[in-house]
Each structure stands twice: as structure tokens, then as C-alpha cells.
Structure 1
């Protein structure tokens, strides 16, 4: 005669199954919300940001950065090209009320050449860009690979509202 109660296979109750399903749905909704409003992966598709970012590199874009922490010179940002609506990744070199000039392939911001160890000035072929003041609420962007970049020298300044996010780990 058996001394203990008969062993029954473990069957989860409908209440437990609903709880698990709710947790899974909450997790998926959280991931979707993060993807839509907070962070998004992107793939670099040009060489205009070399040597910092290479074609095919995966980067993460912090979408809330422009609103939360502001944008500063040295930040690498994502925006829609004013020329063809493609996504672009460039470095902010100047913000509103600063002046920008390129003489003999060297960038000057407010009359001084910023430290840019990621730019190979020897490979740039004598680029010039006349002195301009950046309007308030706008930024001037350039690619790190200045010789191969289409940037604010070509399409002008960008309103801060057009920036879609900050590339994590690639800035200042």
C-alpha cells in the first residue's frame, strides 16, 4: 500500500499562464517602446566618418539625447539628409552662435582649430569654406573623413529639431 499521496504531473493553472503571458507581453511592449522612443540600432553605410566609424559598423542611436542632454561640439549625430532624405551620421563641429571656417583644409571654430585626432589633415586637398556664424538653434556637421564627406559645407546648417539622435560611444 502506498504511504504517500499520489504524484500528479505538474500542470500550471490558467492564472499562472496568464501571468506569464502578461510578463512576456509587457517585456515585448517595453522593447518596442525603447526601440521607438529611446534607442535604435543603425548600420553605417558610407566611409564619410572613417576612421571613427567604418562602413558596415553597427551603432546605437540614443534618440532622446537631443531633448534630454542637448547637443555639443564633438557629438556624433544621426539626421535625415536635406538633399535626398537618406539617413546620415556626422560629427557636430559647431553649434548656434559659433563661427566656422575651413582654411587650407583645417577647421576653425570661433577662430581656433579644435583638437581633431580622428581627422587626417594630410589627406585633405586644400579645402576652403568661408567664415560663417551658425544661427541659434542650429548645428554645423562634418564627416571625420573630410575629403569624402557630404556635410554642412554642402547643404548648410541643420536645425536642432532635425537631429534624430546621438550615436553612443562615438563622440567627444
Structure 2
């Protein structure tokens, strides 16, 4: 009986600070699926395929394009990991519609493995409120532990602000949220 009391006392003292840190600052999350391969959950060897990546997630950071983020899937409300491609008031290139204006309060996310990723290319811009945190590093398995860099595999580039593209960004900033820009035949 004395052991249970010591355990209960330790849990009573230790659990609130741990929950506070998890809720307000950082926690560890297990990455499911292969949508972020090869950055997360690489598949090069049999050993790699046997272990999923556990990542350190920082809550409420300042996010920038290229960051890997944890967010809620808008369709299922499950946690997913994707790369932040564009934030509000930016224009992103999409395979189906050409260029798309990201509306205020939204962002555009994509998986590094486009063939296996269900992301903004499928469900469109994501409300920024669904972003849960910034993925900082891989902490497990130990042989893949590392800090994650901002730049990842080549993704559809944002419009550069030079020449004609700069003018197009200026014009599209007045489009309705989610509106697409038609591609001219001579642009390609």
C-alpha cells in the first residue's frame, strides 16, 4: 500500500508540469504514413521501413514558408504532418488551376511525397487555426535523429516577384479568396 501512495504522490507532483509543457510548449508526435518521405519515415531500407519517426513539435511558433508543420486534417480532424508552402495573401502554382490566391487566414500545405500525399492539392487552402505546431526535429529512431532544415524536396514554387510575375501578384491580391488565374498559352 505504501508503494501506491508514493506512486500517487509522484504522479500528483510530476504530472501537472508535464501536461503544462505538452499543452503549452512542446511534445513528441509519431508520424504516420509516407506523405513526407524521404524527409520523414524514409523507405530506403528494410530497417527504415520498420520504424516510424517520432518528432519534437513546438506549439505556437512563428511559421515561415518551408517549415514542416503539424496540423489537423480539415476533412477528418486527425493530426497530419505537411510542409508549409504558402501563407495568406500569397499566390501558389497548382497543377489543376494554374495559380491560386491563398485567402486571408489560410495557408497552403503539401507533403514532400506528392504521389502519396493528401494535402492542399486535394482539399485546398487550410484555415490557419488548424495548424498545431512546428516540427523541429526527429527524436526517434536514434539513427535518424536530427534537426529538420527549412528547405526540402523541390516543391511547386511560389511566384517570384520579378517582372511580369510581380505584376500578376499585384493583380491577384484583389481576387476573391480561392479564385484561380487562367494561364496564358504564351506563358509556357
In which range does the TM-score fall when normalised by the shorter chain?
Answer: 0.5 to 0.7
Of 19, 24, 29, 1:37 maps to: 24
Q: Which residue of 2 aligns with 1:50?
A: 37
Q: Is the 8 A contact 1:44 1:89 kept in 2?
A: yes
1:150 and 1:129 mapped to 2: Cα distance?
17
1:150 and 1:100 mapped to 2: Cα distance?
17
Q: Is the 8 A contact 1:129 1:153 kept in 2?
A: no
Rg larger for: 1
Q: Which residue of 1 aligns with 2:121?
A: 153
Structure 2: give runs of 5+ residues left out of the alignment.
Answer: 1-8, 42-50, 138-147, 151-188
Q: CA RMSD in A?
A: 2.0
2:78 and 2:13 mapped to 1: Cα distance?
33
1:163 and 1:145 mapped to 2: Cα distance?
20
Gap change, CA 1:99 and 1:37, over 3 Å in 2: same
The structure 1 segments of at least 4 consecutive aligned residues displaced by more than 6 Å after TM superposition are none
1:64 and 1:94 mapped to 2: Cα distance?
18
1:39 and 1:73 mapped to 2: Cα distance?
21
Query: TM-score normalised to the size of structure 2?
Result: 0.59
Gap change, CA 1:171 and 1:76, over 3 Å in 2: farther
Pair 1:61 & 2:57 matched: yes
Q: Which residue of 2 aligns with 1:135?
A: 103
What is the number of residues matched between the two proteins?
123
Q: Following TM superposition, by how much is the alpha carbon of 1:164 offset from its aligned partner in structure 2, in angstroms?
A: 0.7
Of 73, 76, 80, 1:84 maps to: 76
2:115 is paired with a residue whose SS is helix
1:72 and 1:128 mapped to 2: Cα distance?
25
Q: Following TM superposition, by how much is the alpha carbon of 1:132 offset from its aligned partner in structure 2, in angstroms?
A: 0.3
